[in-house]
Structure 1
Amino acid sequence: MFSIRRWCLLALSVASLLCADAKSSTGDSVLVVVDPKNQDQYSTFFEGLKDGGYDLTFRSPKAEGPVVIEDDAPNFAHVILLAPEARNLGKDITPQSIVQLLSRKTNVIVALPTKQSPLHSLAAEFSLILPPPNTPLISYFPKRDTPSTLIPIKIEDHSSPALTKHIEPVWFSGIPASLGSNPLLVPILRAPSESFASETTVTSGSADAVADSVERGGEGLWAGSSLSLVTGFQATNGARITFVGGAEIFSDELAQKETERHRQSGNAAFSREVAAWTFQENLVLRIDKVEHHPVNATEPNEQYTNNDQVVFSTYISKWNPTKGKWEPYSGLKDLQLEFTMLDPFIRTSLPPVRGAPGKYSTSFRAPDRHGVFKFVVDYKRKGWTSLESSTTVPVVPPRHDGYPRFLSAAWPYYTGAISTSVAFFLFSTIWLAGEVNERKRSKGSKAE
């Protein structure tokens, strides 16, 4: 008995140490699917992940193990697919298995190839519309010595919610994507406004050649900043997947290449930011608990009465990747609460409470309508973890002795009833008094 307890305490202590060292809120195990002969090309990216506390496991695209999912459970917290040129990624790495990974809250980074592959059909599942095969992004501006398919891109601060730091211009080579109307898409890197996607034969800069590419095939010209080069997608369960238009953006060559004279590119920092968002280091929230009770009370009611004054509170935490733990967070300024039955009867702001980190609270009057209601918190913002909470509570009419004896709004009816009764009483009295007098007169006349 003592030995079992000792082993349990030891296991708990080891688990706590692992959780304290983890940078991600979901775990630190990463499976990297990359061709062994190309692995050294991404050493800067991989070393940055290792320095961040991640445990990397490398696997060849055609290898059978380690498997991604075993017994319907993922073996890794994160997966990186850096084998865009591989025709086959193994029997356990298919578009269907990647979707299954997301449903199991595993995060994925996918580098898309320029040629047609199963990964193209995977991107279509997430509302990404890819150009025809062999159609990379091309730009002739600014004037430079590099090929037109290798483009320097400036990143404006706050251009994407997934990027939390200032990043120098990055080099990009690959394909763009047109974004569908799915609200769960998070654009991370946009194409320059002067760039376009076309066949690799259109690299001479000829205006006629570009015009011919527009008219040929009916696909049209993919151009402008509406195209996305690196796109994230956050599932409703919090899992994240990022599609990168070219694996070269993670390479050592572009990380060490200067965008301007004596100005190193920001590829290394950008790659780390993309991994930090995808692996749920940044912009991760959760609801710890919710509370509701009447005003001037502390315990919740099993049911509320019409027009009761109700207080609702929720406690929210944010993941701190530097400390590896959850901390109370009071930075949400646009949080709302809905008190709904079929439709919201009440929608009000849910502001943070001063002096209570992580606590958001508001009070309102229950509607004059009985039924089964719900306290609903539904917070969805691009790049941030979605917050969803629903608490059911009935609202009932007052008991027979719960109504006030007199209603101020009913005084006209009270006055009408009282005046009618008084008038009836006076009329009856006068009528009866007149009848008595008439009888006395008749008797007096007979006596005479």
Structure 2
Amino acid sequence: MWAKCTGDSVLVILEPKLQKDSFSKFFSGLEEKGYELTFRSPKDVKPAVIEYDEAKFSHVILFAPESKSFAQDVTPQSLVTLLSKHTNLLIALSPRQTPFTSLAAEFSLTLPPPGTPLISHFPTRNEPATVIPVSVAPSDILSPGLSPVWFSGVPFAYQNNPLLVPILNAPAESFASDSESDLGADALVDATDKGGEGLWAGSQLGLVAGFQALGGARATWVGGVELFSDEFFQKDLPGGGKPGNEQFASDVAAWTFQESLALRIDRVEHHRVNETVPGQTYTTNDQVVFTAYISRFNPVKSTWEPYSGIEDLQLEFTMLDPHIRTALPPVRGAPGKYSVTFRAPDRHGVFKFIIDYKRKGLTHLHSSTVVPLVPPRHDGYPRFLSAAWPYYVGAISTSVGFLLFSALWLAGDDRASAKKSTKTE
């Protein structure tokens, strides 16, 4: 049994006309990992997704691609609320217009007009043009060496959002058409001119995409629910061989439910060089050591393990704007430990040690530690500065000259008085 770092309760909202047995392999695969699946239809009220302003499930699978009416607790607004409560979402779409079609735009995904499924005539096959074998590009989310997967559904265009995580893109020769009985190149020409919408075609279109929320929750959008079906799991590829749908679906669910690529910062430490106790305050120009300990979740062993695989981690020492931005490299021989030594800037104020690491597919790492940076005390300044020796010499020579002048002037006055008294006698 695999353990989960965010919980094992899963609510599956299944459209009535979709048979549970049609997705038996996918659901049984989740149960073998230890997930507890609860099923309900879109219009059912119980079990509630949110009750007393608290999420009742750790994950929600929404396999209702054509339903247009849902219970009050399953609305676009409630799903957004679920993400803020750290509940992960797996949502399947379809070419039909539904309430969740507009919700996709909130996740920076633009869908084509309703009724425009993805179509491709390559490679040659006996299946309809809307049932497409799609090659899988290498990704940290997916298992290496996956075979092409069968897909049928709607594509979407990516907007410019760093939180989006593309997982599966459309084939280069595919396009979205408003007719499932596509007759050839004429449909392509019509698509370029119709309504001024342009051509929905090529590998820039997405079929499966993830969204990594700032709070840590994940949402995955899939253009067609058939990708998870037993039929597509077992359908032979045009050139022969088993498709990669089963492993692909398992990998997508593992990422969505935060089994894979889940990181966390266990703790951070900071102190002066040659010290071990964290400083309550630091003085300008102090040599400061900052250390972070990072771990990665291993679902097989049910543990968080030290992780030293981040090569581009950075630390910022900031007051409003970063005064210092430096690499925070892993320490050799110390798994999970990242450390750097730097000189505090010659600027006093309230500073922060900040780690803000965002990479596609990985859990966002954020840490902020406030420390005061003060100027030296009155007895903390050096007594003599090498750069000030010209001023020291000037001051000393002036003082010596003044003393000599005073001595000579006083001595000269005594001699004049002595001469005057001698003449008087």
TM bracket, shorter-chain basis: over 0.9
CA distance in 1, matches of 2:351, 2:234: 59
Matched-pair contact (CA < 8 Å) for 1:197–1:222? yes
Structure 1 unaligned segments of length 5 or more: list them.
1-20
Q: Could you say if the C-alpha distance between residues 259 and 214 of structure 1 is closer, same or farther in structure 2, counting changes exceeding 3 Å?
A: same
Counterpart residue number, 1:4: none
Shift in Å at residue 91 of structure 1? 2.1
Q: Does 1:374 align with 2:391?
A: no
Matched-pair contact (CA < 8 Å) for 2:143–2:247? no
Q: Does 1:26 align with 2:10?
A: no
CA distance in 1, matches of 2:187, 2:27: 40
SS in 2 for 1:302: coil
Matched ranges for 1:426-445 at <5 A: 426-433=404-411
SS in 2 for 1:263: coil
Match of 1:310 among 263, 276, 288: 288
Match of 1:57 among 38, 47, 51: 38
Shift in Å at residue 23 of structure 1? 3.1
How many residue pairs align between the two structures?
424
CA distance in 1, matches of 2:118, 2:3: 34
Shift in Å at residue 429 of structure 1? 3.9
CA distance in 2, matches of 1:89, 1:270: 29
Matched-pair contact (CA < 8 Å) for 2:192–2:199? yes
Matched ranges for 1:64-75 at <5 A: 64-75=45-56
Matched-pair contact (CA < 8 Å) for 2:281–2:371? yes
Shift in Å at residue 276 of structure 1? 0.4
Shift in Å at residue 380 of structure 1? 0.6
Q: Does 1:78 align with 2:59?
A: yes
CA distance in 1, matches of 2:92, 2:389: 76
Matched-pair contact (CA < 8 Å) for 1:198–1:221? no
Counterpart residue number, 2:108: 127
Matched-pair contact (CA < 8 Å) for 2:315–2:325? yes
Q: Does 1:405 align with 2:386?
A: no
Counterpart residue number, 2:249: 271
Counterpart residue number, 1:257: 235
Counterpart residue number, 1:162: 141
Letter in 2 for 1:251: S
CA distance in 1, matches of 2:51, 2:2: 23
SS in 1 for 2:196: coil
CA distance in 2, matches of 1:24, 1:153: 30
CA distance in 2, matches of 1:223, 1:443: 120
Report the more deviating stretch, 125-134 or 208-217: 208-217
Matched ranges for 1:142-161 at <5 A: 142-158=123-139, 161=140
Shift in Å at residue 125 of structure 1? 1.1
Matched-pair contact (CA < 8 Å) for 2:156–2:205? yes
Letter in 2 for 1:200: S
User: How big is each residue's C-alpha offset from its partner over 1:140-194, in whole Å with a ceiling of 9 and x where there is no partner?
Assistant: 2222222221111111323xx3224331100111111111111111010011112
Q: Does 1:136 align with 2:136?
A: no
CA distance in 2, matches of 1:202, 1:85: 20
Shift in Å at residue 81 of structure 1? 0.7
Shift in Å at residue 425 of structure 1? 2.8
Structure 2 unaligned segments of length 5 or more: list them.
none
Letter in 1 for 2:14: V
CA distance in 1, matches of 2:400, 2:270: 50
User: How big is each residue's C-alpha offset from its partner over 1:340-395, in whole Å with a ceiling of 9 and x where there is no partner?
Assistant: 11111111111122232211111111111111111111111000000110011101
CA distance in 1, matches of 2:138, 2:349: 49
Report the more deviating stretch, 347-356 or 426-435: 426-435
Shift in Å at residue 444 of structure 1? 7.3
Matched ranges for 1:20-419 at <5 A: 21-37=1-17, 38-158=19-139, 161-200=140-179, 203-206=182-185, 208-419=186-397
CA distance in 2, matches of 1:274, 1:182: 20
Q: Tell me the TM-score normalised to structure 2 length.
A: 0.95
Q: Could you say if the C-alpha distance between residues 202 and 426 of structure 1 is closer, same or farther in structure 2, counting changes exceeding 3 Å?
A: farther
User: How big is each residue's C-alpha offset from its partner over 1:272-322, in whole Å with a ceiling of 9 and x where there is no partner?
Assistant: 111000000000011111111111111111111111111111111110011
Shift in Å at residue 92 of structure 1? 1.3
Shift in Å at residue 431 of structure 1? 4.5
SS in 1 for 2:237: strand
Matched-pair contact (CA < 8 Å) for 1:22–1:28? no
RMSD between aligned alpha carbons? 1.8
Letter in 2 for 1:93: V
Shift in Å at residue 438 of structure 1? 5.7
CA distance in 2, matches of 1:425, 1:91: 95
Matched-pair contact (CA < 8 Å) for 1:32–1:59? yes
Shift in Å at residue 232 of structure 1? 0.5
Letter in 2 for 1:111: A
SS in 1 for 2:43: coil
SS in 1 for 2:121: coil
CA distance in 2, matches of 1:204, 1:408: 86
User: How big is each residue's C-alpha offset from its partner over 1:198-253, in whole Å with a ceiling of 9 and x where there is no partner?
Assistant: 211571112x3321221111111111111111010011111000010010111111
User: How big is each residue's C-alpha offset from its partner over 1:24-52, in whole Å with a ceiling of 9 and x where there is no partner?
Assistant: 21111111111355211111111111112
CA distance in 1, matches of 2:54, 2:362: 25
Q: Tell me the TM-score normalised to structure 1 length.
A: 0.90
Matched-pair contact (CA < 8 Å) for 1:202–1:210? no
CA distance in 1, matches of 2:352, 2:88: 32
Matched-pair contact (CA < 8 Å) for 1:137–1:173? yes
Letter in 2 for 1:103: S
Identity %: 62
